[in-house]
Structure 1
């Protein structure tokens, strides 16, 4: 009991701030629930990049599909692309606690940032021994991360200008970074304790966390593998045999955990849609180096840390931070050796930027101590930084909330149709929702239109599968060229004539977005720079596809229902198809959404 009281007495401020950070992250969700009142239809506001796809994966756990290989489609027995461990953690937590998808998403929006705060706090405290640095680092990492990449936004905040943000805090995002960052930081803390102490339990923690990292997020495992490799190399150079053995033990035993992942990867590479996957992820063969101003700034800061601590010997914590920074440099440049360019932004957002903030925290308060700034002024500076960080995240959330509010307000209308599907449709049935593949209709943005929201809700709030989705390319496709088939289907539903197809595709290159994925971005191209052979290939295929009757088109792949928001997309030909071919019958209508059941 005395130890617990002593712990709270020593770290009460960190604990209060951790809870405050978690509360700040979930505040938009609580606000929306309150403002919606009686109009709340069960659909809360989740708007970070790809968030609905992660929630669809969590939904798979609720539905008993634990490999989470195909969260969108009815074909489930595929090798996975994203490892399922984070979603299993979230899903089983929700099931044990009796929470629905909204509940578990909000729970982890609160819990993960709070735990991330505490992990950074205790890691920095161990490395620096300075509580002010230990408070600075997690506050800025979670609440003011954007100011590192866009320092001009600080001036906007100070002058009262509105931020133009449309996504909530990055730490609102489930799985990555909510779960992956927890594993990353927990490993760093455990491994530091393994190096700095003789306590055996930290060896087991380090092995377990490193081994599981690959089943959480590939980028986490790659970064940590590089870090351990550098640690081992430096230990050898410095002739520290005991430390080398510690590093080697963690690296070798932890690597045994990777066997299932690489077996799955082998099966993944043999699947017929693997080329589609590499295209969608924008994988590029390159040996070109990548420059990072974040890594450079971290190295400069560490140089000044070294200067401040002269003539004392270089400390273990300095080496630890230096190797973390160098790991980031190696990670974003691994393609120099491997020839395979990974998305460097993932290393930047989730690893290099937090490490830079930790280094800045250590440097800042070592410098203030060195020039003998009184503690009261240091606390005042820290208070100002904390306040600015909270104001910053409030401005981000306010801008994002206002941007998405009208869309989510309208989306509550889907409560009845989602309820109907949950009550009447068989689990794992397949639903086609118009605009599940992007419709390049002028004046419509895929991220804000109603029909796209309905397709999202199908995979989050029902046990059903969808015919297609804009995130389909993130997993293996269930059928050969299924993405192109849905592009052809979209062209016919929009009544594009065969002789107009080439001109239409050239005029509306965005229609390829659900096929191209990251293809253009990773190559530094504009999405309008669609290769000519793509256009000619689709144009050629469309000549034959257009001539097929609707019964043949809709019987090609499994389809049980069509859910059409007629108020949103009134010009689609579903009524004419029903009347002409008797292909399906109307089983639900609420004046806006019509549901057809395929006969």
Structure 2
């Protein structure tokens, strides 16, 4: 998305300079200079780890930056190409390109709507719980919830979350990431005897790798979130068994937690009513909120 248009732009610049030697001085070429700098910026940002030796979260950076830069560049080049054609061909080709863009966008949006429809519909159940949090809690209160919901809470409430899926992309200590993950599966009643089978399950192993280790590192290194060495997983199992030696109330309170939000429909293994240190303060639409005593 960056290298191809940058090379094409470089070729056009060289041809123009070779023929006229007026690239910078010509006001009509300044938009191409701008997109050239834009592409160079995208190239640097996309390869900052190689340049600086420091890894920063990017993930889908290119969707919101590199792809628009690519489209802007190609549109300008295409526009220059059209000006060299007869009027009839200009209209025909421009109409064809517009049709392709509209058709592609329509198909993408239709697919995206269908793919996310059921999940979005089910998420409406959380509205009463989120409203309760906004109306009855302080701005800085921390809510513990399942990984799936940890991304929604900061968007729709004024609360902080205990842990989040992409926390590993920020300067969060490894111990805290492990603690958050262990607390989550402890609430799901994963006992020490069940831990080896649970951790070695391919789906759970991938989820663990995505949560604890830096987002895309193992996926980029060997093909999946869970392709880290078995020795690493065995060490985590031992740490989890050690973690379980403390009551879950003490483990949860190691870091600030004011409330716990439970989706009864999707997290049936949690069974939070059994814990005396949790006080139920809200329930509705198969969602319950507990105050941590």
Distance 1:503 1:490 in 2: 17
What is aligned with 1:553? 251
Aligned residues: 283
Alignment pair present for 1:312 and 2:12:
no
What is aligned with 1:518? 216
Backbone CA RMSD of aligned residues: 3.2
Distance 1:361 1:545 in 2: 57
Alignment pair present for 1:404 and 2:102:
no
What is aligned with 2:226? 528
Distance 2:56 2:164 in 1: 24
Alignment pair present for 1:585 and 2:276:
no
What is aligned with 2:8? 300
SS in 2 for 1:311: helix
Query: For structure 1, which segment, 335-344 or 539-548, has the greater mean C-alpha deviation from structure 2 after superposition?
Result: 335-344
1:396-545 to structure 2, matched below 5 A, reads 396-433=108-145, 435-436=146-147, 452-453=148-149, 455-477=150-172, 481-507=175-201, 508-512=204-208, 513-516=210-213, 517-545=215-243
Deviations 1:472-526 (A, max 9, x none): 234443x771110122223322333324423432223123211121222343532
Distance 1:405 1:563 in 2: 23
Q: CA deviation at 1:347?
A: 7.3
Q: CA deviation at 1:398?
A: 1.3
Distance 1:466 1:493 in 2: 16
What is aligned with 1:596? 290
Deviations 1:138-191 (A, max 9, x none): xxxxxxxxxxx6xxxxxxxxxxxxxxxxxxxxxxxxxxxxxxxxxxxxxxxxxx
Deviations 1:116-135 (A, max 9, x none): xxxxxxxxxxxxxxxxxxxx
Distance 1:509 1:405 in 2: 28
Change over 3 Å in CA distance of 1:306–1:352 after alignment to 2:
farther
Structure possessing the higher relative contact order (Cα contacts under 8 Å, 6 or more residues apart): 1
Q: CA deviation at 1:301?
A: 5.2
TM-score (norm 1): 0.42
Contact 2:126/2:285 (<8 A) preserved: no
Q: CA deviation at 1:378?
A: 0.5
Change over 3 Å in CA distance of 1:348–1:456 after alignment to 2:
closer
1:316-335 to structure 2, matched below 5 A, reads 316=24, 317=29, 320=33
What is aligned with 1:364? 78
Contact 1:563/1:596 (<8 A) preserved: yes
SS in 2 for 1:488: helix
Distance 2:159 2:56 in 1: 33
1:332-347 to structure 2, matched below 5 A, reads 338-340=52-54
> Structure 2 unaligned runs (5+)?
none
What is aligned with 2:106? 394
Change over 3 Å in CA distance of 1:367–1:345 after alignment to 2:
farther
Change over 3 Å in CA distance of 1:463–1:376 after alignment to 2:
same
Deviations 1:268-290 (A, max 9, x none): xxxxxxxxxxxxxxxxxxxxxxx
> Structure 1 unaligned runs (5+)?
1-148, 150-293, 437-451
Distance 1:497 1:456 in 2: 26
TM-score (norm 2): 0.80
Contact 1:432/1:467 (<8 A) preserved: yes
SS in 1 for 2:123: helix
Distance 1:584 1:365 in 2: 64
Distance 1:423 1:590 in 2: 15
